[in-house]
């Protein structure tokens, strides 16, 4: 009997020891701090938040519990039209809308409109919204997209906003019209020297206040790529000394003034015609240009 009693007591002691060990071991592990990865999430206002807490979840961004913007992201390049998408709590709206503004880096208003709720806004839950802003790129490269909490009371304590830093896309796609004689032949295979041979190639130019002049200057620089040349596209530009002095637009008539000290715009009728057509077609891609005039008038004479 004593032996059995000793065995039972020993087993109980072992079990008790295991229970105590497991308890203290678990407690020690529970007290051990969690090491989160050093990732960072970009917030709509341009700030960053890291992972935190026992589950290593990202901390809330500023205003994220009130309004969330999916597009555009902070510091994203934007161009017109700018489509804005996100979700906001119902009390951010009034009559299903809230104001949206686009500012340049100096605080000037570039465009303004309203975001429209895409669901029932009479709730405290998040409601999807969309807005579209049409604008002309300003002179500053950076700016702000401002989403304002609608505040019909006009009381300062009820005002709120989310500011998103953005970058204006300072490039514009234009067409330069060059010439491919293979596309300008009649049924007998003779080159017609007509507008039928004009071929448009695309280029990117910076957004400026004089896009027509910048495009014409790029055309007469005559910089064709190897691929374009392999496709049979040609140009007589650049011409030695030939340059654009200025341009004016009035009532749809674009007047281009050139310098041609070496008389390079003359020659046979086919040659000067193609030189003329290239500039004319390039200028007329701009909707405001209906007619093109050249100065001095003796330019492009056979």
Q: Which band of pLDDT confidence, cut at 50, 70 and 90, is reported for residue 195?
A: very high
pLDDT in tens, 208-243: 779 999 999 999 999 999 999 999 999 999 999 999
Domains observed in the chain? 63-168 (2.60.40.650), 171-295 (no CATH)
Q: How far is CA 80 from the centre of its chain?
A: 8
Amino acid 137: pLDDT: 78
- pLDDT of 37: 87
Q: Is the pLDDT of residue 199 over 50?
A: yes
| DSSP label of 55 | T
Average pLDDT (26-42) is 71
Please report the pLDDT score of residue 151 as a whole number.
96
Q: Who has greater pLDDT, 209 or 183?
A: 183
DSSP string, 61-126: PTTTTTEEEEESPTTEEE-SSEEEEEEEEGGG-BTTEEEEEEEETTS-EEEEEEEEESS--SSSSE
Dmax (CA) for the chain in angstroms is 131
Listed residue (84, 144, 76) closest to 108, CA to CA: 144
Average pLDDT value over all residues in the chain: 91
- Does 14 or 44 have the greater pLDDT score? 44
Query: What is the share, in percent, of the chain residues with pLDDT greater than 90?
Result: 79
**Per-residue pLDDT, 27:** 47
- Are the C-beta atoms of 88 and 68 separated by less than 8 Å? yes
User: Which pLDDT value is given to residue 302?
Assistant: 87
Tokens of 262: 């070496």
Q: Residue 237 and residue 223: Cα distance in Å, rounded?
A: 8
Give the pLDDT band (50/70/90) at residue 260.
very high
Q: How many CB atoms lie within 10 A of CB 115?
A: 25
What is the rounded average pLDDT of the residues 44-62? 94
């Amino acid at each position: 009997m004593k032996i059995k009693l000793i065995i039972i007591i020993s087993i109980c002691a072992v079990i008790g020891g295991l229970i105590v060990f497991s308890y203290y071991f678990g407690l020690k592990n529970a007290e051990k701090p969690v090491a989160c990865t050093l990732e960072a999430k970009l917030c709509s206002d341009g700030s960053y938040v890291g992972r935190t807490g026992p589950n290593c979840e990202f901390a809330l961004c500023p205003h994220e519990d009130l309004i969330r913007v999916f597009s555009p992201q902070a510091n994203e390049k934007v161009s017109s039209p700018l489509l804005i998408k996100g979700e906001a709590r119902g009390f951010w709206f009034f009559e299903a809308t809230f104001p949206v503004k686009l500012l340049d880096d100096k605080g000037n208003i570039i465009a303004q409109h309203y975001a429209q709720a895409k669901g029932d806004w009479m709730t405290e839950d998040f409601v999807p919204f969309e807005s579209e802003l049409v604008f002309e790129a300003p002179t500053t490269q950076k700016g702000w997209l401002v989403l304002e909490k609608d505040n019909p009371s006009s009381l300062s304590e009820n005002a709120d906003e989310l500011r998103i830093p953005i970058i204006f896309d300072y490039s514009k796609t234009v067409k330069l019209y060059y010439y491919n004689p293979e596309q300008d032949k009649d049924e007998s295979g003779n080159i017609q020297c007509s507008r039928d041979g004009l071929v448009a190639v695309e280029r990117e130019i910076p957004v400026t206040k004089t896009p027509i002049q910048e495009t014409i200057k790029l055309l007469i620089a005559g910089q064709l790529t190897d691929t374009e040349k392999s496709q049979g596209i040609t140009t007589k530009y650049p011409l030695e000394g030939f340059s654009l002095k200025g341009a004016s637009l009035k009532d749809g008539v674009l007047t281009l003034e050139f310098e041609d000290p070496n008389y390079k715009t003359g020659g046979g009728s086919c040659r000067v015609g193609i030189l003329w057509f290239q500039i004319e077609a390039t200028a007329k891609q701009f909707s405001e240009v209906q007619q093109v005039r050249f100065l001095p008038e003796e330019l492009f004479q056979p």
